[in-house]
């Protein structure tokens, strides 16, 4: 964390990154609504209007926060997929990687609900947010496309079901995450893992895949909501 207060030099050094960090922290603590540009400035020990040297307005800062969120999401997806069991190129692994993608997505949404909402909410104006990539340089949507391509290559998804599979898969997992995060779907911690498994099974069926290959969902990951 960049030094929150107390500064010797007149210039901060890396105010832009510090502001994004502070915004992420504040949003995690108090939600997207309670967040204010002035408070972010206060947190990094800078005047209330200093942020305007780095961001056109509040919305632009939120765009940077969203971009950061996509990076973290992509990283979580890659990490989850790396642990998928099965032989490389085989159907078991392809299914496991698809499931890992979905699990990482929902897990991220549950752990960082406010961040998740900013990434997809109405705060960003059109094309204000550059997606943000993970360690491998790919954004979450690219990871999805590649994983589906692999599944098609492994024979898990029949060719006639490949078209538009991104939209179906993403919609389903995103919808589940959004409904759970917003509290619209009132699931207890225990029910969440079971519901997610049904949702992932549904995605596989929708894509014409053999859902019996779906590995179990680790319930513990979906037990807590963090920020």
Partner DNA sequence: CCGCAATGTGTACGCCGTGCACATTGCCAA
Partner DNA sequence: TTGGCAATGTGCACGGCGTACACATTGCGG
Binding footprint of its own copies on the chain (CB under 8 A): 31-33, 114, 117, 120-123, 126, 163-164, 167-168, 170-179, 182-185, 194-195, 198-199, 201-203, 205-208
Token representation of residue 129 = 């947010």
Number of other residues whose CB lies within 10 A of the CB of residue 199: 18
186: DSSP letter:
-
The answer to whether residue 10 forms part of the interface with DNA (CB under 7 A) is: yes
Smallest Cα–Cα separation from 99: which of 213, 181, 191? Answer: 213
Token representation of residue 186 = 């009132």
**Nearest approach, Cβ of 187 to its own copies (angstroms)?**
8
Work out the angle at residue 20's Cα, subtended by the Cα atoms of residues 16 and 22, and round it to the nearest 5 degrees.
115
Partner touching 39 among its own copies, DNA, none, CB below 5 to 8 Å by kind:
DNA
Binding residues among 17-76 for DNA as defined by CB under 7 A? 35-39, 41, 46-50, 52-54, 57-59
* Cβ partners under 8 Å of residue 131, min gap 6: 67, 70, 139, 140, 141
Partner touching 38 among its own copies, DNA, none, CB below 5 to 8 Å by kind:
DNA
**Nearest approach, Cβ of 5 to DNA (angstroms)?**
11
User: Which residue ranges make up the site for DNA (CB under 7 A)?
Assistant: 9-13, 15, 35-39, 41, 46-50, 52-54, 57-59
């Amino acid at each position: 964390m960049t030094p929150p207060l107390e500064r010797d030099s007149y210039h901060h050094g890396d105010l832009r990154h510090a502001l994004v960090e502070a915004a992420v922290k504040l949003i995690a603590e108090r939600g997207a609504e309670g967040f204010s540009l002035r408070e972010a400035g206060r947190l990094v020990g800078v005047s209330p209007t200093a942020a305007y040297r780095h961001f056109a307005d509040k919305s632009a800062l939120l765009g940077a926060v969203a971009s950061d969120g996509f990076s973290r999401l992509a990283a979580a997806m890659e990490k989850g997929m790396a642990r998928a069991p099965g032989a490389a190129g085989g159907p078991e692994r392809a299914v496991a990687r698809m499931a890992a993608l979905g699990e990482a997505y929902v897990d991220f949404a549950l752990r960082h609900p406010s961040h998740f909402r900013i990434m997809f909410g109405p705060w960003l104006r059109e094309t204000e947010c550059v997606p943000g990539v993970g360690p491998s340089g790919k954004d979450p949507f690219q990871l999805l496309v590649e994983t589906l391509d692999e599944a098609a290559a492994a024979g898990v998804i029949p060719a006639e079901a490949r078209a538009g599979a991104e939209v179906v898969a993403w919609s389903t997992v995103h919808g589940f995450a959004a409904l759970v995060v917003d509290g619209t779907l009132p699931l207890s911690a225990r029910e969440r893992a079971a519901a997610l498994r049904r949702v992932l099974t549904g995605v596989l069926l929708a894509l014409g895949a053999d859902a019996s290959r779906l590995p179990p969902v680790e319930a513990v990951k979906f037990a807590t909501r963090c920020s």
